[in-house]
């Protein structure tokens, strides 16, 4: 089978966000509930989840998806978080979904975007 030189395996979005309050930066259960709603909204399939809550309530979590992953790390002491969203383009271009998922998390955290990197894989 010939290789399509225009094929892109997927869009990888890396965000650093600043929030005004720390309640959502210490709320793993709220993140999980929001993530479940986002996955349902965009018809994405979770195949695994791992998280750790630190002594100050901050958390790190990895959501493994059939399509790839979403990872988050929170720093309430700095009112910041980083989130990493990557969806593969196996049967269709998921770039639009990556951008929409990112927008939904920005809205959930009511966040200001400090850094926004997009890497076409």
Q: One digit per residue, pLDDT tens: the chain, 121 residues?
A: 455 567 778 999 999 999 998 899 999 999 999 999 999 999 999 999 999 999 999 999 999 999 999 999 999 999 999 999 999 987 788 999 999 999 999 999 999 999 999 998 8
Q: Is residue 70 part of a domain?
A: yes
pTM of the entire predicted model: 0.92
Q: Is residue 2 part of a domain?
A: no
Residues sharing a CB contact under 8 Å with residue 80, sequence separation 6 or more, in sequence order = 16, 17, 18, 19, 25, 74, 114
Domain with 66, as residue range(s), is 11-120
Q: Is residue 4 part of a domain?
A: no
Helix (H) or strand (E) holding 83: strand 80-88
Task: Count the domains in the chain.
Answer: 1
Residues sharing a CB contact under 8 Å with residue 109, sequence separation 6 or more, in sequence order = 17, 19, 24, 25, 81
Q: Is residue 25 part of a domain?
A: yes
């Amino acid at each position: 089978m010939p290789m399509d030189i225009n094929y892109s395996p997927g869009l990888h979005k890396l965000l650093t966000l600043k929030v005004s309050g720390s309640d959502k930066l210490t709320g793993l259960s709220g993140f999980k509930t929001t993530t479940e709603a986002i996955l349902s909204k965009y018809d994405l399939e979770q195949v695994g989840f791992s998280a750790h809550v630190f002594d100050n309530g901050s958390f790190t979590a990895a959501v493994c998806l059939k399509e790839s992953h979403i990872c988050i790390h929170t720093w309430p002491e700095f009112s910041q978080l980083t989130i990493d969203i990557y969806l593969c383009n196996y049967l269709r271009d998921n770039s639009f979904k990556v951008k929409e998922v990112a927008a939904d998390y920005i809205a959930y955290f009511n966040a200001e975007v400090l850094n926004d990197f997009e890497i076409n894989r």
